[in-house]
Structure 1
Amino acid sequence: MIVTFLRTALETFDNEKLRSFLLSHGVETVVENKGRVFPKSQKADSVLKALETYMGDGRVEIQTNTHILRLISENNHVHGVETNHGNIFGHNVLITTGGLSYPATGSTGDGYKLAASVGHSIYPTYPAIVAFETEETWVKSLQGTPIKNVNISTYQLNKKIAEHFGEALFTHYGISGPAILDMSKRLVECLPNGFIQIHIDFKPNHSTEELDSILLNRIKRQGGKAIKSCLTFFIPEKLAPILLGLCNIEPHKKASQITTQERRKILKQLKGLHLTLLRHRPIEEAIVTAGGVSLDEVDVKTMESKLMKGLYFAGEVLDIDGPTGGFNLHAAFSTG
C-alpha cells in the first residue's frame, strides 16, 4: 500500500533530483555504505541552510511561536488557519507537521488533530524505528558498545518474528543499532502479545563445529592466558567477561584449563546470546512514527485531500513509514 501510494511522488522527485536540487543550492553530496547519501560536509546544518536560502529566495515567511488552533474551511474547501496570533488565509493549506517523535522539534501530533477535525481518518500511531529495553541489566555495563556483523533472530512464543544481519548497539537500558531498528516496527507490533526473545549469533558465517575448531586453536595457542583474552577475537573486550559469567566460568581462568563442557557453553553463547525485550522506548525517542492520515483519503498524484479541497499533506503526518537509511526523509521530500 505504501509503495503504491508513493510511486508517483518518488518518480516525480527521485533521489537524483534531490541531489541535483541540493547541489544547485551549494550542497555537494556523496554516496556512502549501502547507497546512503550524505552531505559531503557531513553536517546536517548545511542542508538546513540551503533550504532556508531556498525559502528566502521564494519570499517564504516563517512565523515562529505560532500555534495552529484550527483549519478555516467553507463548503468543503480549506482556505486558511486560525492561530494564536490571528487568522492566516491562502489558496491552499499544506500540513507537514510530522509525527509524534522528538516533540522538541515541534512534532507533537497537531497535524493528526487538524486532519481529523475536517473528517480525515487517522490510523493509530506508534513508534516505527525505535530502541528497546531488556530484562537483562548487565547491558548497562556495555553502554555504547557496538557489535558488528552479527545475525539477530527474534522470537515470540517459540515462533520467529524477524531476522536481520548487521550491527547492533548496547545501551544503558537495552539494545539499539541499525539491525534492531530495521526490525523495530514489527517487534513493536508484536510486543502487546508478550515479551520477545532475541538470539544474537556473533559468527553467523561459521557453523558451531567450525567455530569450535577456531576456539580450540586459540586456546592451544594462548593456553597460558585468561580465557577472556581468547574471546576478544570473537566479541568486544567488554562483553567477554559477561558472556563467561553467563556460562558460570571465571573470566581469569587460564584458557588451558577450560573443559570440553565449558567450551560448549561458550560456543552456545557465541552462536545464540539471549536477551529478552520488555518494552520499546517512548515514542518521543523514536526516529519515525507509524500510523497517521489514511492514504485512501489523499490523492496520490497531488497529495490533496479527497475530502477537502485546498488541503494537502506531506511527510510523516501521512500513514507512511520505511526502514532506516534515509527512506523516510526522501518520502517527506518527494511528497512535499
Structure 2
Amino acid sequence: MYDLIVIGGGPAGMMAAGRAGEKGKKVVLLEKKDRMGKKLLLCATGRCNVTNTASLDQFIKVYGRGGHFLRTALETFDNEKLRSLLLSYGVETVVENKGRVFPKSQRADSVLQALEAYMHDHKVKIQTHSPVVRLNFEGNRISDVETSQGNVFGKNVLIATGGLSYPATGSSGDGYKFASSAGHTICPTYPAIIAFETVESWVKSLQGTPIKNVHIAAYQSGKKIAEQFGEALFTHYGLSGPTILDMSKRMVECLQDGPVQIRIDLKPKHSPEELEGLLLDQIKRHGSKAMKSCLSFFIPEKLTSIFLNLCNLEPNKKVSQITVSERRKILKQLKGLCLTLIRHRPIEEAIVTAGGVNLNEVNAKMMESKLLEGLYFAGEVLDIDGPTGGFNLQAAFSTGYLAGNSVD
C-alpha cells in the first residue's frame, strides 16, 4: 500500500513524487510510456526554458484567472527554489532575454536527469509501460488504480497527466477522463500556445524566414484583440514565432467567430515620416539598382519580391523610376503588412492546452480535490495556462511540489 500513487511522469508528476518521497512517504509513479519526461525533452526545442525571473506578482498576472489559484503553489515553491533544487543536482541555470531561465548546458536532458535523481534519492518507485486504465472507487475514496500491468493500491492519488498536446509524448487527455470519473467538471479544452494557417499562400515560399523587432496587432471586425512586439516566423502554412505564440490563446478564442486579421508593422520604431526619409535616402543612393535590392535595407531579402508584388510593383523596376504613389504603397506595406488567419494548427501541435479540471473544485492551498478526499491534481491537467517564457513549466513544478508536500 503506497502513500501516494502519481499518474504521469512529466514535470509536475516527477516533482510531486520527489517531494512526497522527501517527506518520507512511500511513493510510486506510473508512466505509460517507456520513459519519463518525453514532453520536457522537447521544451524550447530541447533547451528547456525551466522558469522565468519574473516577480511573484508578475507570475500571478500572466496566468489570468488562474493566477490567484496558483498563489500558494508559487509561494511554496517559486522560481528561486526551483533553480536551487536543480543546482543541488548539478544543473546550473542561466538567464536569457525577457527573464527566461535555461540550464547552462542548454540541454533538457540535464533537467530530466536532476528530477530522476531527486526521485531516486527519496526512494520513489518508477513503473514505466504502465498506462492507467481506470480509477476504482470505494465509498468516497479511490480504492486502487487499475493499470495494464495490474492494480496499484494507495491512500492518495495524484493526476498529473498533462493536457492534449503532443500525444506521442503521452499527453493525450487521459487525465480529463480520470477526473470526470471522480465527479470533476472539465472546462472545454483548446490550444493555448499554437501557430496559425493563413489565407495567403505566398507564405509558403518564405518558410523558415524570421521577421525581427516587428509590432504585430490582431483584429476582428475592425476591433483590436491582441498585440505584441518581437519576432514572428513564416511557415509553409502561415505564421508562428514568439509573438504569434504569445497572442495565440486570444486569437484561438476569436477564430470561433470568424477570421482574424493580422497587421505587421515591419518598422515600428520609425514614424511614417521618418520611414519616408529613410526610403528617399535609399532611393538617392541606389537610383540605378532594382527596387528589390533597395528594399533589402528594410526587410529580409527573401521577402522583397513578394512585398513588391503586394504593392503591385515589378521587383526589377529601377529605384529611380518609382513614383510618389508607388512610394506611398511601399510605406503603407512597411507599416502594415496584412495577413488573414483562418484556423489554428491541430491541438496535437499545441505547446500548451487551455482548459482542463475546473479550479473551483480543487483546494488551491493543497492541490487536493474538494470532491474526493485523497485525490490531487498538478500541472497542465488543471485549467491553467500562461504565455511562453518558462511560466507553464514553473506552474507544473509549483503545483507538483505543493501536491507532494500536502499528502498525509
Question: Is 1:102 the counterpart of 2:133 in the alignment?
Answer: no
Deviation at residue 79 of structure 1 after TM alignment:
3.9
TM-score (norm 1): 0.99
2:322 to 258, 262, 275: 258
1:210 to 274, 283, 286: 274
Deviation at residue 145 of structure 1 after TM alignment:
0.5
Q: Percent identity?
A: 75
Question: Is 1:61 the counterpart of 2:61 in the alignment?
Answer: no
Deviation at residue 86 of structure 1 after TM alignment:
1.0
Question: Is 1:200 the counterpart of 2:264 in the alignment?
Answer: yes
2:202 to 135, 138, 148: 138
Deviation at residue 72 of structure 1 after TM alignment:
2.2
Runs of 4+ with deviation above 6 angstroms: none
Q: Which residue of 2 aligns with 1:165?
A: 229
Q: Which residue of 1 aligns with 2:90?
A: 26
In structure 2, C-alpha distance between the alignment counterparts of 1:74 and 1:166, rounded to whole Å: 53
Deviation digits for residues 101-145 of structure 1 (CA, Å, limit 9, x no counterpart): 000110010000000001000000000000000000110111111
In structure 1, C-alpha distance between the alignment counterparts of 2:126 and 2:282, rounded to whole Å: 64
Q: Does the residue aligned with 2:205 lie in a helix, a strand or coil?
A: helix
Deviation at residue 203 of structure 1 after TM alignment:
0.8
User: 1:96–1:313: 8 Å Cα contact kept in structure 2?
Assistant: yes
Q: Does the residue aligned with 2:276 lie in a helix, a strand or coil?
A: helix
Quick one: which amino acid aligns to residue 239 of structure 1?
Answer: L
Quick one: which amino acid aligns to residue 85 of structure 1?
Answer: Q
In structure 2, C-alpha distance between the alignment counterparts of 1:91 and 1:118, rounded to whole Å: 15
Q: Does the residue aligned with 2:278 lie in a helix, a strand or coil?
A: helix
In structure 1, C-alpha distance between the alignment counterparts of 2:79 and 2:202, rounded to whole Å: 42
1:9 to 45, 54, 73: 73
User: 1:99–1:107: 8 Å Cα contact kept in structure 2?
Assistant: yes
How many residue pairs end up in the alignment?
Answer: 336
Quick one: which amino acid aligns to residue 293 of structure 1?
Answer: V
Deviation at residue 309 of structure 1 after TM alignment:
0.8
Q: Does the residue aligned with 1:91 lie in a helix, a strand or coil?
A: strand
In structure 2, C-alpha distance between the alignment counterparts of 1:310 and 1:136, rounded to whole Å: 52
Q: Which residue of 1 aligns with 2:376?
A: 312
Q: Does the residue aligned with 1:152 lie in a helix, a strand or coil?
A: strand
Q: Does the residue aligned with 2:284 lie in a helix, a strand or coil?
A: helix
Structure 1: which 5+ residue stretches go unaligned? none
Question: Is 1:289 the counterpart of 2:353 in the alignment?
Answer: yes
Structure 2: which 5+ residue stretches go unaligned? 1-64, 401-408
User: 1:79–1:310: 8 Å Cα contact kept in structure 2?
Assistant: no
Quick one: which amino acid aligns to residue 204 of structure 1?
Answer: P
In structure 2, C-alpha distance between the alignment counterparts of 1:53 and 1:28, rounded to whole Å: 15
Q: Which residue of 2 aligns with 1:153?
A: 217
Deviation digits for residues 219-253 of structure 1 (CA, Å, limit 9, x no counterpart): 10111111111111111000011100111111111
In structure 2, C-alpha distance between the alignment counterparts of 1:79 and 1:205, rounded to whole Å: 62
Q: Which residue of 2 aligns with 1:227?
A: 291
Question: Is 1:86 the counterpart of 2:150 in the alignment?
Answer: yes
In structure 2, C-alpha distance between the alignment counterparts of 1:283 and 1:165, rounded to whole Å: 25
In structure 2, C-alpha distance between the alignment counterparts of 1:118 and 1:312, rounded to whole Å: 11
The CA RMSD over aligned residues, in Å, is: 0.8
2:364 to 275, 283, 300: 300
Quick one: which amino acid aligns to residue 108 of structure 2?
Answer: A
TM-score (norm 2): 0.81
Question: Is 1:71 the counterpart of 2:135 in the alignment?
Answer: yes
In structure 2, C-alpha distance between the alignment counterparts of 1:12 and 1:55, rounded to whole Å: 19
Which deviates the most, 184-193 or 152-161?
Answer: 152-161
User: 1:80–1:92: 8 Å Cα contact kept in structure 2?
Assistant: no
